[in-house]
Amino acid sequence: MISLLWSITIVSLLATLIISVYGIVAKPNLVKKLIALTIFGDTANVLVVLLGYRVIYPVKPPILPELSKRALGEFVKTAVDPLPQALVITAVVIGMAVNILIAFAVIQIYRIYGTLDVREVGKTLPELLRREEA
């Protein structure tokens, strides 16, 4: 039963990854592309955290409960792997900053071209350049 739940978790995360890649590629709207990209990033982060998880009971966070050497053995037996969490903490905040950068670019594109559709933007840009030449 536990292995079924575990495999459902992993497979549904992988399905979310695939759907979000589809969203990035297939949706013409830039905002929808950005939303799909954030879903992709968050799913990847959850997968990395899952790498360090232990399917045991009880499972504890990787923080020493008391500052004595006696508790250390029990602590190592129950704590989850801290390394994936440490890597994900930075990835989350950096991901937020990079998403803000992309959102700024999308807003500026909307202000200049008046549209968010990548096909329209692709048509408008050559027109604008030609008008400069004439």
Partner 1 sequence: MKRLTGLLTILIITLGVAIYLAQNIIPPENLHPLGEYYLENSYFGEHSAKSPEVVTSILWDYRGVDTLFETAVFFLAIIGSLTIFRLNREQSEEAKQGEPKPQLPEPVVVVTKLTVAMILAVSASIALHGQLTPGGGFQGGSALAVAPLLVIAAYTKYALEKNGLDKTRAIIIRSIGLLGIALTALTPLLVSGYIMQNQPIFPGEALGVPLGGSLVLYNLFEYLAVGAGFTAVFLLLSIPEEKFKKFLGVRR
In the complex, the residues that contact partner 1 under the rule CB under 8 A are 2-4, 6-8, 10-12, 15, 19, 52-56, 61-64, 67, 69, 72, 75-76, 79, 81-83, 85-87, 89-94, 96-98, 100-101, 104-105, 107-108, 111-112, 114
Distance CA 114, CA 134 (A): 22
Residues 6 or more apart in contact with residue 31 via CB below 8 angstroms: 106, 116
Nearer to partner 1, 35 or 99 (CB): 99
Nearer to partner 1, 25 or 97 (CB): 97
76: which 2 tokens?
């190592």
Distance CA 133, CA 103 (A): 31
Judge contact between 66 and 60, C-beta under 8 A: no
Nearer to partner 1, 103 or 118 (CB): 103
In whole angstroms, how close is the CB of 95 to partner 1 at the nearest point? Answer: 9
In whole angstroms, how close is the CB of 124 to partner 1 at the nearest point? Answer: 11
94: which 2 tokens?
């950096």
In whole angstroms, how close is the CB of 74 to partner 1 at the nearest point? Answer: 11
Nearer to partner 1, 25 or 67 (CB): 67
In whole angstroms, how close is the CB of 23 to partner 1 at the nearest point? Answer: 13
Distance CA 68, CA 89 (A): 27
Distance CA 71, CA 88 (A): 27
